[in-house]
Amino acid sequence: MEKKDLRIVYMGTPEFAVESLKRLVEGGYNVVGVITMPDKPMGRHGSVLQPSPVKEYAVSQGLKILQPEKLKDERFLEELRALQADLQIVVAFRMLPEVVWRMPRLGTFNLHASLLPQYRGAAPINWAVINGETETGITTFFLKHEIDTGEIIDQVRVPIADTDNVGVVYDRLMMLGGDLVLKTVDAILAGNVRTIPQETLSSAGVLHPAPKIFKDMCRIDWTKGVKPVYDFIRGLSPYPAAWTELCEPDSAPVVMKIYETGKEFAEHALAPGTIVTDKKTYFKVASTDGFVHLLSIQFAGKKRMNVADFLRGYRHSEKAIVK
């Protein structure tokens, strides 16, 4: 079978999923349908509907689009069956019911942004950086009942530099993901896929999960040490962003998001969260084994700024702390 004859249904929602879809379209593959999330209400009253990045691209290419509220809805299932897909591809979408992933004759494969079986879950890139990993990657695998546990088709390993934040790693994996999706489709077309059960790879060590990240999980714990705090901040930068509270005497605490930091390992007797600054060029926070230098920050309702700009308008109290 030629690639133009292979009927593909693509499922995805965020920007990360656009690159793989774009590669399929530009590569001449036959994408007969795109499944994405319903438009998201925006604005004060939810009166403006924001389409997903995948929908925006699909519209620009004239592709057929389905946006089901529920994946088990019989009307949606009838529309999906009518597309007569040979293969389904999932990139950053949602958990599929068996009736959906079993539908195509060649199966359904997923592109996941980790080296499975490590970092199964919704936020694999964030957690790899938060945990100080020096390597991550992307994996294609066939879907089965338990989420992110299907047999591996292919993987690409990618280094993580100590200075990389999650945005940098995200962009790198997004581009490489497009390559791997095409490579996987071609292997399936050629009939030379040799899958590997994830259980055979789990002996590499303790498995790290990658659960969805919520705002309350993004608060910085200054007692954890310089390197864990540094990794935590870059693992949440630029989104959703790590935060702490700047506490001044006789004032309400102010939430401060932190996007970029530096490390200074040093012995000291200060309590974690103590602020040390020359009020002009540096603003650092004590941790258990040194200091974390704040380089790029943002307060609610304000623009992101570097610390020198912040200090020009900051009246520092010697009793101020972050917590």
pLDDT by residue (tens digit) across 232-281? 999 999 999 999 999 988 889 999 999 999 999 999 999 999 999 999 99
Cα 267 to chain centroid, rounded: 35
Residue-level pLDDT, tens digit, the chain, 323 residues: 889 899 999 999 999 999 999 999 999 999 999 999 999 988 777 778 999 999 999 999 999 999 999 999 999 999 999 999 999 999 999 999 999 999 999 999 999 999 999 999 999 999 999 999 999 999 999 998 888 999 999 999 999 999 999 999 999 999 999 999 999 999 999 999 999 999 888 655 789 999 999 999 999 999 999 999 999 999 999 999 999 999 988 889 999 999 999 999 999 999 999 999 999 999 999 999 999 999 999 998 899 999 999 999 887 788 889 99
Closest-CA residue to 88 (of 70, 102, 71): 102
Cα 200 to chain centroid, rounded: 26
Give domain limits for the chain: 7-204, 215-322
- C-alpha span between 271 and 258 (Å, rounded): 20
Model pLDDT, residue 203:
53
C-alpha distances out from residue 210 to 179, 231, 269, 285, Å: 24, 15, 35, 28
Q: Which residues pair with 136 in a beta bridge?
A: 158
State the CATH class of domain 7-204.
Answer: alpha beta
Both tokens of 63, joined, read: 């592709």
Q: 116 among the known binding-site residues?
A: yes
In terms of DSSP H, where are the helices of 135-249? Answer: 166-190, 226-234
Give 95-110 pLDDT, tens digit per residue: 999 999 999 999 999 9
Q: Around Cβ 205, how many Cβ atoms within 10 Å?
A: 7
Q: Tell if the pTM clears 0.85, that is, is over it.
A: yes
In terms of DSSP H, where are the helices of 15-116? Answer: 15-26, 53-60, 74-82, 98-101
Q: 117 among the known binding-site residues?
A: yes
Q: 114 among the known binding-site residues?
A: yes
Model pLDDT, residue 204:
59
Cα 20 to chain centroid, rounded: 15
State the CATH class of domain 215-322.
Answer: alpha beta
Residue ranges with strand state E in the chain: 7-12, 30-35, 40-42, 48-50, 65-66, 87-91, 108-112, 135-142, 152-159, 242-247, 254-265, 275-277, 283-287, 290-299, 305-306, 321-322
Model pLDDT, residue 268:
97
Instruction: Please answer whether residues 256 and 287 qualify as being in contact, where contact means their C-beta atoms are separated by less than 8 angstroms.
Output: no
How much of the chain is in helix, strand and coil states, percent to nearest 5?
30, 30, 45
Closest-CA residue to 15 (of 46, 36, 42): 36
Instruction: Please answer whether residues 35 and 9 qualify as being in contact, where contact means their C-beta atoms are separated by less than 8 angstroms.
Output: yes
Model pLDDT, residue 145:
84
Both tokens of 212, joined, read: 């969805």
Closest-CA residue to 169 (of 140, 141, 135, 139): 135
Q: pLDDT averaged over the chain? A: 95
Give 293-315 pLDDT, tens digit per residue: 999 999 988 999 999 999 998 87
Closest-CA residue to 184 (of 115, 87, 95, 103): 87
Closest-CA residue to 294 (of 243, 248, 249): 243
Residues near 153 by beta carbon (within 8 Å), at least 6 away in sequence: 109, 139, 140, 141, 142, 184, 187, 188, 193, 195
